[in-house]
Chains A and B, each alone.
Chain A
Amino acid sequence: METNFYVYLLVAAGTLYLIRMLPLTLIRKGIKNKYIRSFLYYVPYVTLAVMTFPAIIYATGSVWSGLAGFVVGLVLAFFDGNLFRVAIGACLAVYLTEWLV
């Protein structure tokens, strides 16, 4: 018998919700341990850095346009830091590079 789509979805969404929910409900106190605190403080930086590179250079039509988006994003983020401008700047760099190459 074929499993219904919505049953699949229920299992996937339920599992996903538990992963996201459990830490927030179970860890209700401020963690005192300096090493665990440090670990959790570093997590966002490491995980976003790992997710961005090298994925960004393979996300476009060619490595070169991806690299252009990465470098422009990096420079804009360094000097400006505005989410919207950095995102659009990276997109424009990719678009222009693909148009030129």
Chain B
Amino acid sequence: MCFFVRTGRKYVLTCGQCTVIMSFVGFKNQRSIMMSNRTWYGKGIKDGIPIALGYFAVSFAMGITAKEAGITPLQAGCMSAVMLASAGQFAAIQVIAAADTLVQMAITTLVINLRYLLMSSSLSQKIDKKTHFIHRLLLPCFVTDEIFGIASNVEGRLNPFYNYGAATVAVPGWTLGTVLGATVGAILPERVETALGVALYGMFLAIIIPGARKNKVLAVLVTVSMLLSFLCSELPVLSGISSSMRIIILTVVISAAAALIRPIREEEKQES
């Protein structure tokens, strides 16, 4: 690592980072115990700000789609506030627009959002075993792709207040954007909106790449995941699979293969 950035100002930066990483490892357990709910909440708000910005831009499209389907801005806002799911909401809007049955609504929602089953399972091992039941009921309200991403990224055990903090800024961003989109349509210049649309993908990269940099297994895992995802969306027969199914199938297959080939060692377990 140091070999890369030995010259110039960046050397200092890397040194600083190394110090930070070392101090994190040293005080990890102590820190998790010492950090109050309030501190976790504040940390969640801070990390939730880029999510809120990205949501705001993306949810405009959601509002516009809802409006075209004959849904009022108030209804669209309610939907965004309680569902907090991008693909899931688009699918729900389609079901409503087609006036399908409630059973179809339940099945569509289940299939499109099945990945949350995996995310919540992963989080069940990330939170403290003694986490109160109330938080086990409240935390899942705020498991979106992005909030899940930052929550799995925290050092040591996850405190649910981190998610509540992130949701405090992200939910208004998502809801407000939807309502505005349904009311006035596109107010941002098209190019700005397109550019902001990749904010959330940028965040995903910021979550997975640092881990991959430190750990070769994760580096291989991330590369393989992206390659297979690319192939599955391009190859003739496989590209017929919807993107939500592709996400869940690939997640299960690749994670299971990785777990069999490279089960985590003791020290990695503690990190997770």
Contacts and interface: CB of A to CB of B under 8 A. Distances in A.
Contacts of A70: 201, 205
Contact of B201 (A73, A76, A95): A73
B263 A27 contact: no
Interface in A72-89: 73-74, 76-89
Chain A interface bracket (under 10, 10 to 19, 20 to 34, 35 or more) = 35 or more
Given A8-B105, A16-B83, A99-B191, A73 B205 contact: yes
Interface of A: 2-3, 5-9, 11-13, 15-17, 19-25, 27-31, 34-56, 59-61, 65-66, 69-70, 73-74, 76-92, 94-95, 98-99
Contact of A37 (B49, B125, B205): B125
Interface in B47-86: 47, 49-50, 53-54, 71, 75, 78-79, 82-83, 85
A50 B246 contact: yes
B109 A15 contact: yes
Interface of B: 5, 10, 47, 49-50, 53-54, 71, 75, 78-79, 82-83, 85, 88, 92, 95-96, 99, 101-102, 105-106, 109-110, 113-125, 127, 129, 133, 136-137, 139-141, 143, 145, 148-150, 152-153, 191-192, 194-213, 218, 221-222, 225-226, 228-230, 233-234, 243, 246-247, 250-251, 254-256, 258-260, 262-264, 268-269, 272
Contacts of A78: 209-210, 213
Contacts of A52: 201, 204-205, 208, 226
A20 B141 contact: yes
Of A34, A40, A70, A82, the most chain B CB neighbours within 10 A belong to: A40
A92 B194 CA distance: 11
Contacts of B5: 79
B198 A66 contact: yes
26 contacts: A7-B102, A11-B102, A12-B95, A17-B141, A23-B120, A41-B272, A43-B118, A45-B211, A46-B254, A48-B145, A50-B246, A50-B250, A50-B251, A50-B254, A53-B226, A54-B234, A83-B207, A86-B202, A87-B50, A87-B199, A87-B202, A88-B50, A88-B202, A90-B205, A95-B195, A98-B191
Contacts of B254: 42, 46, 50
Contacts of A19: 110, 113-114, 116-117, 120
Given A9-B78, A54-B230, A90 B114 contact: no
A31 to B, nearest CB: 6
Nearest to A26: B124
A89 B195 CA distance: 10
A8 B201 contact: no
Lowest 6 CB-CB distances: which A-B pairs, in order? A90-B202, A77-B209, A20-B140, A38-B259, A49-B225, A86-B206
Contacts of A8: 92, 95-96, 102, 105
A34 B194 contact: no
Contacts of A31: 125
A42 B272 CA distance: 9
A35 B82 CA distance: 35
